[in-house]
């Protein structure tokens, strides 16, 4: 211990002296964000250096979509009860399954083949079929692009949900929204680039891992809004006893002193990120309440989303909020439909009785999602917004156990749909086999799905990388092919 009387470490590397900087900051007001941002970007560029020839925050080529909204239906939506019409299954109703190999269900109790519990009719100009479970979405069919040949790796909710959201079944990998925030930056500094609107009934399996930034810098993490609260983000609002002028002065002081510390630690991105986090927090204090306040919406819009109907109220509100967030430049909004597991389940996990379960769930999902599609379309936003409807896996064409009315998890084929920017409307891609058990034609893996989404946003999924633990990590790992067949 050779030192003289203790001196703060920030002095050692502090060539400019804090006073001049502080003065600059106090006089320039908003300069801090840009400085901190520059540091953040330097760090990110260093980590991205292994990927040649592209700039962080810029698309690689001309994007078709500028923003994304993803509806994620937790629990596993049955493709057979919604979008995948299987007349052969009807004929084989009640029979046992032979010649398809091992049963892929989670609980391993194969029953007998069960026909769809709903009627399928053709809709719209395209004549695509949707079941009677989803009358409102049926009205949007000409805007939708179905992928009937989705394939997931896991038949367990948590890893399957992680795969749909992050590409990996293990936890800790950055989610799609985080990759887009990292790859494209934000369009609105005053709102998080990646917002999650959880179902009021609880969080999906794996909770906040479904919107983690993993090893990407933490500012790309999804921010989950408490959508039923007057204060959507905890501690968002300044206590009433603190006037705004004083709060502004607090913030200036804090920023000036934090900046010194960050400068003394140029290698530690977290310090610069914290500077930015205060700045963002201050702006969020006004921008989030404004964005999430639905009172200025006309009655007709509220009715469109079904806000006056008990079944749609919670989720419908989130869908409308999503539109407002997208309008204000949020890059990626994820809306979760379906809450937690346990008993009773409040998600799509229809093990015991698919009809009972899906009736309840669809009543909350169908109308608001259709409303969001229509609303985006009527505002011209569907032109440059990519709409994703997804779930973690489908459900088995077999009953779960003999005599049951339930269906087990089924990752080996299921349906998702896309709509909006760059996607062929009213189209159907790939297929399941005759009974919806396995992929028939044109398998689409989750990495293919992700590669296509990145492509629509102007990003090459092989070039969007981040160096971590010796590997240039990608959303699509070492797989993924853009599905050119669905691009318009």
Partner 1 sequence: MFPSSAALLATLALVLPSAAAPASHPEMKVTDADRQHWAFLPLRKVMVPTAQDSAWARTPLDQFIRLAQEEKGLLPSAMADSRTLVRRIYFDLVGLPPTPEEFKKWSGRLTNSRDAWSELVEELLASPHYGERWARHWLDVARYADSNGMEGDDDRPNAYHYRDFVISALNEDMPCDQFMRWQLAGDEIAPDKPEAIAATGFIVAGTSTIVTIPMEEEKQRIRANELDDMVSTTGQAMLGLTLACARCHDHKYDPLPTRDYYRLMSIFNSGDRCDVPMAPPAQVREHAEAVARWQQQPADASRGEKPSDLPATFAFADFAPEPRESWLFERGDFMSRKEKLEMGFLTVLMTGKTAGQYWQTARDTKLRDDTTQQRRALAGWMTDLEDGAGRLLARVMVNRVWQHHFGEGIVRTVSDFGRRGEPPTHPEMLEWLTNEFIRSGWSVKHLHRLILKSAVYQQTSLHDERKAAIDPENRLLWRRRPLRLESEILRDSMLAAAGTLNPAMFGPSFKPPIPAEALQARNVKNPYPGDAGDSANTRRRTIYMFHKRVIQYPLMQAFDAPDAQQSCGRRMNTTVAPQALAILNDPFVRLRAGELATSLLVTAGPNPQQQIRDSFQRCLNRDPMPEELAAATEFLAAQIATHEKRDAGQNAPLLALTDFCQSLLGLNEFLYID
Quote the least distance from Cβ 331 to partner 1, whole Å: 15
x/- mask, partner 1, residues 107-146, rule CB under 8 A, reads: xxx-------------------------------------
Q: Which stretch binds partner 1 (CB under 8 A): 75-83, 90-98, 234-242, 296-304?
A: 234-242
Q: Does 342 bind partner 1 (CB under 8 A)?
A: yes
Q: Is 38 in the site for partner 1 (CB under 8 A)?
A: no
User: How many residues contact partner 1, by CB under 8 A?
Assistant: 83
Q: CB of 183: closest distance to partner 1 in angstroms?
A: 18
Question: How does 260-293 read in b/e, with b if 16+ C-beta sit within 10 Å?
Answer: bbbbbeeeebebbbbbbbbbbebbbbebbeebbe
DSSP string, 143-177: GEEEEEEEE-S-SSHHHHHHHHHHS-SSSSSPPHH
Q: Which of 15, 19, 99, 380 binds partner 1 (CB under 8 A)?
A: 19
Torsion from C-alpha of 153, 345, 313, 414, nearest 10 degrees? 30
Q: Is 233 in the site for partner 1 (CB under 8 A)?
A: yes
Q: Which of 133, 200, 320, 325 binds partner 1 (CB under 8 A)?
A: 200
Q: Of 375-404, which residues contact partner 1 (CB under 8 A)?
A: 401-403
Contact flag: residue 472 with partner 1 (CB under 8 A): no
Interaction of residue 300 with partner 1, rule CB under 8 A:
no
With a CB cutoff of 8 Å and minimum separation 6, the contacts of 287 are 188, 190, 191, 328
At 73, list the tokens. Answer: 């239906």
Q: Which of 42, 285, 360, 424 binds partner 1 (CB under 8 A)?
A: 285
Residue 230, interface with partner 1 (CB under 8 A)?
Answer: yes
How does DSSP classify residue 482? -
Residue with Cβ nearer partner 1 (232 or 306): 232
Nearer to partner 1, 129 or 201 (CB): 201
The reply on whether position 248 binds partner 1 by CB under 8 A is no
Q: Which is nearer to partner 1, 298 or 470 (CB)?
A: 470
Near partner 1 by CB under 8 A, which window of 27-35, 112-120, 275-283, 300-308? 275-283
Contact 219, 182 (CB under 8 A): no
12 binds partner 1 (CB under 8 A): yes
The tokens of 86 are what? 């299987």
**Phi, psi dihedral angles at 461 (to 5 degrees):** -65, -20
| Cβ(37)–Cβ(276) below 8 Å | yes
User: What whole-number distance in Å separates Cα of residue 451 and Cα of residue 458?
Assistant: 11
Whose tokens are 């229509």? That residue is 374
One of 163, 219, 318, 390 touching partner 1 (CB under 8 A): 219
Closest separation in Å from C-beta 196 to partner 1: 12
Out of 71, 150, 273, 486, point to the residue binding partner 1 (CB under 8 A): 273
For partner 1, the closer of residues 314 and 458 by Cβ is 314
For the CA atoms of 51, 54, 58, 61, the dihedral, rounded to the nearest 10 degrees, stands at -110
Note whether 56 and 182 are within 8 A (CB).
yes
* 27 touching partner 1, by CB under 8 A: no
Handedness of CA 464, 322, 330, 138 (dihedral sign): positive
Distance of CA 342 to the CA centre of its chain: 23
Q: Which is nearer to partner 1, 347 or 428 (CB)?
A: 347
Lookup: tokens for 288: 């989030």
Residue 418's DSSP bridge partners are 145, 388
Distance in Å from the first CA to the final CA of the chain = 69
Residues 343-382 that bind partner 1 (CB under 8 A): 343, 352-353, 356
Does 299 contact partner 1 by CB under 8 A?
Answer: no
Distance CA 35, CA 31 (A): 7
Among 243, 286, 290, 441, binds partner 1 (CB under 8 A): 243
Taking CB under 8 A as the criterion, which residues in 174-193 touch partner 1? Answer: 192
471 interacts with partner 1 by CB under 8 A: no
223 binds partner 1 (CB under 8 A): yes
Residue 268 in the binding site for partner 1 (CB under 8 A): yes
Closest distance of CB 336 from partner 1, Å? 13
């Amino acid at each position: 211990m050779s030192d003289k009387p203790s001196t703060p470490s920030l002095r050692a590397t502090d060539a400019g002296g804090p006073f001049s900087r502080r003065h600059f900051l106090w006089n320039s007001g908003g300069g801090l964000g840009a400085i901190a941002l520059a540091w953040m970007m330097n760090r990110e560029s260093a980590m991205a250096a292994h990927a040649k020839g592209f700039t962080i925050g810029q698309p690689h080529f001309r994007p078709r979509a500028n923003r994304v909204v993803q509806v994620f239906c937790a629990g596993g939506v049955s493709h057979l009860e919604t979008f995948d019409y299987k007349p052969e299954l009807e004929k084989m109703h009640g029979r046992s399954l032979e010649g398809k190999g091992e049963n892929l269900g989670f609980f391993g109790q194969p029953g007998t083949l069960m026909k769809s519990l709903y009627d399928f009719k053709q809709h719209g100009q395209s004549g695509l079929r949707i079941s009677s479970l989803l009358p409102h979405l049926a009205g949007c069919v000409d805007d939708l692009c179905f992928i009937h040949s989705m394939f997931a790796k896991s038949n367990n909710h948590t890893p399957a949900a992680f795969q749909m959201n992050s590409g990996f079944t293990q936890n800790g990998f950055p989610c799609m929204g985080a990759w887009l925030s990292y790859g494209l930056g934000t369009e609105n500094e005053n709102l998080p680039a990646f917002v999650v609107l959880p179902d009021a009934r609880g969080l999906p399996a794996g909770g906040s891992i479904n919107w983690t930034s993993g090893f990407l810098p933490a500012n790309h993490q999804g921010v989950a809004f408490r959508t039923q609260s007057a204060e959507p983000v905890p501690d968002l609002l300044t206590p009433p006893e603190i006037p705004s002028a004083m709060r502004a002065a607090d913030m200036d002081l804090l920023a000036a002193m934090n900046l010194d510390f960050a400068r003394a630690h140029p290698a530690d991105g977290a310090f610069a990120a914290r500077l930015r986090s205060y700045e963002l927090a201050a702006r969020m204090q006004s921008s989030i309440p404004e964005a999430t306040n639905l009172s200025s919406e006309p009655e007709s819009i509220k009715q469109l989303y079904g806000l006056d109907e008990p079944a749609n109220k919670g989720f419908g509100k989130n869908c409308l909020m999503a539109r407002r967030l997208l309008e204000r430049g949020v890059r990626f909004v994820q809306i979760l439909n379906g809450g937690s597991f346990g008993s009773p389940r409040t998600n799509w996990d229809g093990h015991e009785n698919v009809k009972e379960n899906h009736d309840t769930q669809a009543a909350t999902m169908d109308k608001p999602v259709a409303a969001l599609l229509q609303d985006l379309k009527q505002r011209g936003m569907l032109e440059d917004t990519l709409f994703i409807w997804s779930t973690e896996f489908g459900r088995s064409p077999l009953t779960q156990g003999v005599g049951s009315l339930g269906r087990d998890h089924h990752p080996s084929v299921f349906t998702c749909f896309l709509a909006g920017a760059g996607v062929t409307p009213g189209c159907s891609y790939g297929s399941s086999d005759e009974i919806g058990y396995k992929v028939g034609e044109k398998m689409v893996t989750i990495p293919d799905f992700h590669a296509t989404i990145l492509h629509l946003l102007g990003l090459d999924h092989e070039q969007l990388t981040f160096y971590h633990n010796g590997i240039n990590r990608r959303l699509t790992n070492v797989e993924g092919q853009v599905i050119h067949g669905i691009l318009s």
